[in-house]
Amino acid sequence: MSGEPRSVVEIVESVHAGRRTALDTVRESLEAIRARDGGEDGIHAFLSVDAEGAEEAARAVDDAVASGRRGALAGVPVAVKDNICTLRLPTTCGSKMLEHFQSPYEATAVARLREAGAVVVGKTNLDEFAMGSSTESSAFGPTRNPHDLTRVAGGSSGGSAAAVAAGMVPAALGSETGGSVRQPAAYCGIVGIKPSYGRVSRYGLVAFASSLDQVGTFGRTVADAAALLEVISGPDPRDSTAANVPAPVLLPELENGIEGLVVGVPKEYFPPELDERIARLCRDAIERLREAGAVIRDVSLPHTRYAIPTYYVIAPAEASSNLARFDGVRYGMRAEGVDSTEAVYEATRSLGFGDEVKRRIMLGTYALSAGFHDQYYVRAQRVRALIARDFRRVFDDGVDVIFTPTTPSVAFGLGEKVDDPYQMYLADIFTVTANLAAIPALSLPIGTVDGLPAGGQLLADRWDEATMVRAAAALERALKE
Ligand code: GLN
């Protein structure tokens, strides 16, 4: 591919204007995947690529545009995290359990992308069942960070983030339960959005922790990630948790600037463990926001320090229940050579799941078990309510958006944390709160530390994605100046 990879916004404009075809655009993307993704030194962002299907779909988009149907994402090649169901490629969840699983239906988010003229080129790597922060728990090998192939891309949506960062696709879908879009976006130097809980249908997103899971979007700019979010948002009769609120109008917000908005800066997100160089980049970003006309206010979210323990009770508890369905009977693999039903369950789950998934199932089953349920699960739910109330108070007090670092450090080395789950969980310290509080959050690049990208996070009140992307676009412009 020559020059800078094209943005979603540019592609749509030029396809609408007839200056380029969807087919050429998709071919360019497939070519970039061939050049950078495979082999020993490849990034390994993709688990499967559908060249034939993508070209066919692109031709259909070109025909539609020629006959006057100009979809909001006409001709945009997209990658889809492999825990989101598609009709044409397998949906493996990065697990041996579902290695050959072919979904009989398509996720609502994917269907909406296709209806808008986007073309799915492939499915991306992830931590097994989205459990992880580095994409190293994938049963099919890790994804590498395009900025430094010896480092992780983050996770669990590491494949989608790396594919976008490497210019293989302009945008992608990921999923979030506790930071899995924002954390890899920060590590890979791109924009990632986790919408409000209930903003995007979960139909066809393989369940991890149902009270936290949301589909999110990646792009190299705020506009690109927002363009996808606009299309996939809104109620869905197939998912009762997709709230009955209209899809937000985001793109016109991007030019509105930040003048007069109140930006809260919570002291709990600048702890001593935060890499001093990331702290400095955050202070610079806050200064830029002030220069652009924002009112900066110190705020406090006092229950932040309970977020990791709360999340790591609730998410595994829900996961232990959701993953009970993978037992060799209905979905995916079935262990051979065992005779009783019990033995099929046991052997299939022993062989099919990797260590991290087993760890979560055991933790979650324990937290839900008779005698411990009150001490762990119920108590975690109460603390979750306190964390949500912290945000409620700040927003009720007139704060429009909150600014924090996305992660406490930049991308770590491959293999560095695999044997220390607790250290791995700490990579989520600034991101799990938004999932617990059901509010929208976004990560955008704010600079580099030794050549590795660092992310800044913006959070807004529930359903206020519009103000969040408006502030993010203003910061993105201010950082470019
Ligand atoms: N790293 C977190 C976890 O392992 C987040 C996962 C996610 O958001 N899917 O649970």
Rounded to whole angstroms, how far apart are CA atoms 436 and 456?
19
Rounded to whole angstroms, how far apart are CA atoms 308 and 327?
29
Q: Whose CA is nearest to atom 10 of ligand 1?
A: 131
Rounded to whole angstroms, how far apart are CA atoms 378 and 313?
10
Does residue 210 carry a catalytic annotation? no
Does residue 350 carry a catalytic annotation? no
**Under 8 Å between Cβ of 312 and 293:** no
Rounded to whole angstroms, how far apart are CA atoms 462 and 441?
10
Helix (H) or strand (E) holding 21: none
> Which residues have CB under 6 Å of ligand 1?
130-133, 156, 175-180, 208, 315, 428
Q: Which atom of ligand 1 is nearest to the CA of 178?
A: 8
Q: Which atom of ligand 1 is nearest to the CA of 131?
A: 4
Phi, psi at 398, each rounded to 5°: 100, 5
The whole-number mean pLDDT for each consecutive block of 10 residues of the chain, a chain of 481 residues, reads 78 97 98 96 97 98 97 98 98 97 97 98 98 97 98 98 98 98 98 98 98 98 98 98 96 96 98 94 98 98 97 98 95 92 95 97 96 94 98 98 97 94 88 98 98 98 98 97 84
pTM above threshold 0.95: yes
What tokens were used for 396?
A: 């009720």
| 82 CA → ligand 1 middle, Å | 15
Residue of 7, 29, 81, 157 marked active site:
81
Tell me, what's the pLDDT at 427? 83
